[in-house]
């Protein structure tokens, strides 16, 4: 009764998610009324899938608006406890497959990931799948967000065999490769063309994410810290149905507002590394 087909949730997966989360929740009493964990989970799934205001969920579920607010964040906290089980960077074996898939798709060698930023309509938070950082304001430069992430430390320390791609909002390094703003020569032009294609995959991922969780298309009327919790929870949840064979929902054509992109200051070592990479891998393109 609480999950409708138009809300892009599946009954089979909803039942599995309830079984997964119920042990982490208790039938707490909200304003003197005990609410079973399964109902708490359904309330949260309905909010995340539809993006409706708390008062609409309140009317449907028969609980007051304050209770819905508290339930959503209690369940989202429980979901966030599972993030290390569902949000992880590929291991060595998976990295080999990622390199092959990225090369077959975009002809860009050695790629194991793409650094990208997501902002909600209030431009508050940035997020990376496989490595998530939802604690920075939207005005924070992409490079600063990335440089303070655990993934950056891992890549800098040589824990991953491969490179990741990013747009010009990130600083070029020896493991994060950005496009040339002014390509000189054929190898740099071919490099840029190969760099563009993987971005389409990333944009599609964000489209699927927002189609599945409509709350991300709207302003989250919570305190910033609680917004972070909701965003991380919606990043955890999609992996569960994917592991159980669910297909992605149809992507609706709806663009986010343009967010001004500030070019990062590349260091000379990073630029030299990119030049050598482009010369080595793209100088023989036709």
Q: Which of 66, 81, 96 is a domain's end point?
A: 81
Identify which has the larger pLDDT, 255 or 67.
67
Identify which has the larger pLDDT, 219 or 39.
39
Spatial neighbors of 247 by CB under 8 A, at least 6 apart, are none
pLDDT for 207 equals 80
pLDDT over 80 at 75, yes or no = yes
60 and 94 inside one domain: no
| CA pair distance 4, 21, nearest whole angstrom | 20
- With a pLDDT cut of 90, the percent of the chain lying above it is 18
214 occurs within a structural domain: yes
Q: At what angle do helices 65-80 and 224-236 cross, to 10 degrees?
A: 60
pLDDT over 50 at 6, yes or no = no
216 occurs within a structural domain: yes
Q: Which residues pair with 171 in a beta bridge?
A: none
Residue range 224-248: average pLDDT?
76
Find the farthest-apart pair of alpha carbons in the chain and give their distance in angstroms, rounded: 72
Q: Which of 52, 81, 110 is a domain's end point?
A: 81
Q: Which of 81, 99, 125 is a domain's end point?
A: 81
pLDDT band at 179 (very low <50, low <70, confident <90, very high): very high
For 81, list phi and psi in degrees, rounded to 5.
-65, -20
Please tell me the total count of domains within the chain.
2
235 occurs within a structural domain: no
pLDDT for 188 equals 94
51 occurs within a structural domain: yes
186 and 57 inside one domain: no
pLDDT over 50 at 260, yes or no = no
pLDDT band at 126 (very low <50, low <70, confident <90, very high): very low
Do residues 165 and 195 touch, judged by C-beta distance below 8 A? yes
pLDDT over 60 at 171, yes or no = yes
107 and 214 inside one domain: yes
DSSP 188-254: HHHHHHHHHHHHHHHHHHHHHHHHH-GGGGS---S-HHHHHHHHHHHHHTTHHHHHTTPPPPPPP--
175 and 204 inside one domain: yes
pLDDT for 135 equals 47
Residue range 270-279: average pLDDT?
94
pLDDT for 3 equals 43
66 occurs within a structural domain: yes
pLDDT over 60 at 164, yes or no = yes
199 and 75 inside one domain: no
pTM for the model stands at 0.71
Spatial neighbors of 258 by CB under 8 A, at least 6 apart, are none
263 and 123 inside one domain: yes
Element (H, E) at 139: none
Q: Which domain holds residue 205?
A: 87-221+248-282
77 and 132 inside one domain: no
Spatial neighbors of 1 by CB under 8 A, at least 6 apart, are none
116 and 190 inside one domain: yes
């Amino acid at each position: 009764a609480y999950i409708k087909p138009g809300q892009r949730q599946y009954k089979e997966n909803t039942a599995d998610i309830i079984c997964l989360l119920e042990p982490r929740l208790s039938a707490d009493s909200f304003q003197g009324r005990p609410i079973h964990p399964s109902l708490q989970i359904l309330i949260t799934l309905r909010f995340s899938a539809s993006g409706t205001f708390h008062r609409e969920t309140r009317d449907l579920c028969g609980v007051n608006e304050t209770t819905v607010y508290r339930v959503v964040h209690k369940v989202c906290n429980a979901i966030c406890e599972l993030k290390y089980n569902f949000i992880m960077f590929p291991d060595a074996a998976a990295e080999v497959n990622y390199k092959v898939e990225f090369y077959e798709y975009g002809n860009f060698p050695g790629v194991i990931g793409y650094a990208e930023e997501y902002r909600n309509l209030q431009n508050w938070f940035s997020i990376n799948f496989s490595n998530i950082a939802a604690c920075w304001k939207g005005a924070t430069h992409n490079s600063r967000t990335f440089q303070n992430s655990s993934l950056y430390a891992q890549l800098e320390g040589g824990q991953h065999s491969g490179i990741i791609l990013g747009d010009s909002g990130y600083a070029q390094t020896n493991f994060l490769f950005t496009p040339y703003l002014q390509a000189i020569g054929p190898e740099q032009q071919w490099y840029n063309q190969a760099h563009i294609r993987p971005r389409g995959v990333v944009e599609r991922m964000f489209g699927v994410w927002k189609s599945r969780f409509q709350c991300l298309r709207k302003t989250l009327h919570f305190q910033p810290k609680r917004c972070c919790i909701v965003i991380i929870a919606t990043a955890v949840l999609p992996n569960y149905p994917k592991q159980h064979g669910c297909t992605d929902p149809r992507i609706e054509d709806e663009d986010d507002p343009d967010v001004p992109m500030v070019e990062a200051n590349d260091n000379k070592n990073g630029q030299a590394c990119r030049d050598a990479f482009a010369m080595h891998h793209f100088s023989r393109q036709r």
